[in-house]
A and B are shown apart, each in its own frame.
Chain A
Amino acid sequence: MNEVLSVSDLIVKYGNVEAIHGISLTIDQSELITICGANGAGKSTLLKTIAGLIRPAAGTIQFLDQDIAGKKPEDVHKLGVALVPEAREIFPSLTVAENLRVGVFGQYHAKQYAEDLEDMFTLFPILKTRYQQAGGLLSGGEQQMLAIARGLVSRPQLLMLDEPTLGLSPTYVDQIFDLITHLKQRKITILLVEQNANRAIEISDRAYLIKNGSVEFNGNADEMQSKIDLESIYLGG
């Protein structure tokens, strides 16, 4: 199998405080990988570092055929990594149309973009209805869909989703899980951080459990579920 991403011995610091102490992980083409761990374990830090928002103190991040550790976020995006950030971070005063257009800045091809928009409208009909409305007027769940669509229109080689169900109502949570399952069927390579660990692991190929900035376990769904009591991760176990 082709390796899309290979993180080796990654160390990330905030000032003098080390948040990630030598994490290694790999993702193959078309794999869906879940990362779980308690609050403050370092999951978002890991994703932000891969995306280029944070420069690692040490380690390598091999993406396809190059080391992207320390590259700028705009360059990492151009190479094919899309991060849908934790707080969604859509642009509230920009319309849905404009939010999506920013997602292909610098790699816009009229025909391809028109196709991708149609595709997004099929996946998320609400985005078509709200196309000319400000992103900030959307509900939380709709904003999450916009954020995911904004990531998808760049046709990423690696899609990273940071807690996409955070704060959403059960209906939206179901929708997001259905969507991720669907994207997996489309063979999109996905790195998912999820607090609904059981559910995420169920649909994943493999999973990593991160604890205090290090990988505690990793394995396929069955191994993970037998090794750990997932509920306890979040109850401080």
Chain B
Amino acid sequence: MNFNIILEFSINTLALGSLYALISLGLVFVFGIMQLVNFAYGEYIMFSGYLLYFLGVFTNLPWFLVFAISILGGAIIGFLSELVAFRPFRGRSLEALFVSSFAVSLILQNTAVLSVSPRSKAVDLPAIFNEAVQFGEITIPIRNLLTIAVTIILLVGLLVLMKKTPLGIAMRAASENFPAARLMGVPANLVISIAFIISGFLAGVVAIFWSARSGAVEPMMGQGPLLVGFIAVVIGGMYSLTGSVLGGFAYAVLANLLSMFLPNELLSFRDAFMFVIVITFLVIRPQGLIKGTYTEERVG
């Protein structure tokens, strides 16, 4: 195989992996703190996607503002959904939270269907998202380079937040042992709100790149990334932020390798092959790539 193909494959896989890493990080931030698989996460992405659509089509705002508002919108919907739909049930049962997250997911989907349209709407992204650059013989979409750059910036930012700030340290403490963190004076409401805000923020960023890939938004658009995030998190390890990032990259590598090497007549079974590999991996290593250090005991 020639060098150019490998390079092109690597950059594109890195871009896909970056996107998947952001998706699974958003999911695991909430899971880590609350042990809740938040089914509404996909709809945070969808909500931000629709903000992109509305702001892009109906306003003349500069692009950086459109993006900023959409991302902020994701953070706000994350924050509000926790306040309205999760906080009242907290401390009752995980099942109640689970059902509530389904409800939020359905309500947001139906809101989009009823207030906009069940059909998909073309988003009007800046031209740069559809351009490509030529390096010698290889062609790389600029979108992919942007995805990689933004992911690197966000990962560094989150790393600094989680490792260097008191709030981040408290959040890591809370995701290891929530009751013990509260005993040390870490407010439950604060860390949970922050987790949802970060989750929604990441959803907002994902929305930009996800809708750039398809060029459109639609009410069900959150389901794809939710599944991606779920699988990536399971591969990487449910209890580790680093694990979720690695899981995202591992998933992208696997998906792209299969697309490249599966014979044409089997290509439509790519996802089936994926699942077989993922399930086999989990049989061998059920804790995922990185185990994490979550304390099972929940006090009080």
Contacts and interface: CB of A to CB of B under 8 A. Distances in A.
Interface of A: 48, 51-54, 72-74, 77-78, 82-83, 85, 87, 89-94, 98-99, 101-108, 136, 150, 154
Nearest to A95: B169
B295 A54 contact: no
**Size category of the binding interface on chain B:** 20 to 34
B181 interface: yes
A106 B180 contact: no
B143 interface: no
A12 to B, nearest CB: 10
A105 B184 contact: yes
Nearest to A99: B173
B179 A53 contact: yes
A74 B295 contact: no
Interface string B285-300: 0000000110101011
A94 B184 contact: no
Contacts of B300: 48, 53-54
A102 B179 contact: no
Contacts of A85: 180, 183, 299
B118 interface: no
Dominant secondary structure at the A interface: loop
A82 B179 CA distance: 13
B299 A102 contact: no
Interface in B166-225: 166, 169-170, 172-173, 176-177, 179-188
Given A94-B172, A105-B166, A78 B185 contact: yes
B170 A74 contact: no
Instruction: Choose among B180, B181, B293 the residue with the greatest number of A CB atoms under 10 Å from its CB.
Output: B180
B185 A53 contact: no
B113 to A, nearest CB: 40
13 contacts: A48-B300, A53-B299, A72-B187, A91-B180, A92-B176, A92-B293, A94-B169, A94-B173, A98-B173, A102-B169, A103-B184, A103-B185, A105-B185
A91 B182 contact: no
Contacts of A104: 185
